[in-house]
Amino acid sequence: MSTILKIENLSHKYTSSWAVRDINIELDQHGVVGLLGSNGAGKSTIMNIVCGVLKPTEGKVWIDGIDIRQQPELAKAKLGFLPQTLPLYLDFTVEEYLTYAADLRFIPKQKVKAAVHEAMEKCGIGHFSSRLIKNLSGGYRQRAGIAQAIIHKPELIILDEPTNGLDPNQIIEARKLIREIAAEHTVLLSSHVLSEINILCRDIIMIEGGRIVFSDTMDAFNNYVQPQTLLVRLENMPAEESLMAIPGVTKVQFLADKQVRVYFEDGADIAELVVAKSIQQNWRLKEINYEKSLLDDVFKQLSTQSIPTN
């Protein structure tokens, strides 16, 4: 499969400060890739450069093999973009707005009607074709915004905070729509919400301080920080002193239902030691599991690895 998006040695500065520095990204398959980072990390700068809105200080961007600086019209024809602030004309009907979007995308006039109908049906807004956009709910406005991004069937679709401001039911519907779109397109989804990225994305690129601090699968991200706690269920619960005497144990926390959380030092083979001690002391071990690091913990640790960009 050909490379859909290639970013090479991308850097950009505003006045004297680097907003992003030495960014390299390559996407070559369908699915959702998360662009994760705190506010001000550089995500919007990267998206604006990829979409041809902003000229980078250094580096190059190719969309499906086309240099966006050298051939901007051809490159932009292969991407769709939904910014965080929806690009809607509130006094248009849904059909009028998407017809306008199709014209902007140079879809041949004889194919516009079919393209508009297909985009509305795919986004579940066909029954609102004659309704003014200002009279749509937030969720359906979001769908109209997504429809304009996919109307020309681009290879790459960029979504900036696509569920921002939606209620829980609307978020569920938006996520379902994004998954359906990702089955046929490459989707780059930008967000600072960890749970959103975790639910939707197969791969993740994390930006902090204008640099990539992590780029791998979602599973690798979830497992990035080694577990520091062990959840143990014992029929015969020992005293705190007995658990603290196990080499590497730093703290214990007694829980309900004959459970105890055991905190331990890096590198300690704590599970093996707890099992051995349980057998020796007849604690009657029933269950033992490493506790997976929370996404927030991973994010915090990776955030501290950002490199100063000034």
What single string gives the DSSP state of each residue in 128-174?
GTTSBGGGS-HHHHHHHHHHHHHTT--SEEEEESTTTT--HHHHHHH
The whole-number pLDDT of residue 293 equals 63
- Number of Cβ within 10 Å of residue 179's Cβ equals 14
Q: Are 197 and 34 in contact (CB under 8 A)?
A: yes
Query: Nearest to residue 33, comparing CAs of 12, 5, 56, 66?
Result: 5
Edge to edge, the sheet with strand 259-264 lists 249-255, 259-264, 229-234, 285-290
CB neighbour list of residue 16: distance below 8 Å, 6 or more residues apart: 310
pTM given for the model: 0.77
Edge to edge, the sheet with strand 17-27 lists 17-27, 5-14, 58-63, 66-67
* pLDDT-based confidence at residue 115 (cuts at 50, 70, 90): very high
Q: Are 3 and 66 in contact (CB under 8 A)?
A: no
The whole-number pLDDT of residue 221 equals 82
- pLDDT above 50 (res 54): yes
Q: Are 187 and 160 in contact (CB under 8 A)?
A: no
The burial of 106, by beta-carbon neighbours within 10 Å (0-12 exposed, 13-18 middle, 19 or more buried), is given as: exposed
Domains and CATH numbers, the chain: 1-78+154-225+294-310 (3.40.50.300), 90-146 (no CATH), 229-292 (3.30.70.100)
* pLDDT-based confidence at residue 255 (cuts at 50, 70, 90): very high
- pLDDT above 50 (res 309): no
> What tokens appear for 156 in the block?
């790459």
Cα–Cα distance between 145 and 123 in angstroms, integer?
A: 10
- Number of Cβ within 10 Å of residue 224's Cβ equals 17
pLDDT tens profile 149-191: 999 999 999 999 888 888 888 888 889 999 999 998 999 999 8
Q: What is the CA radius of gyration of the chain?
A: 25
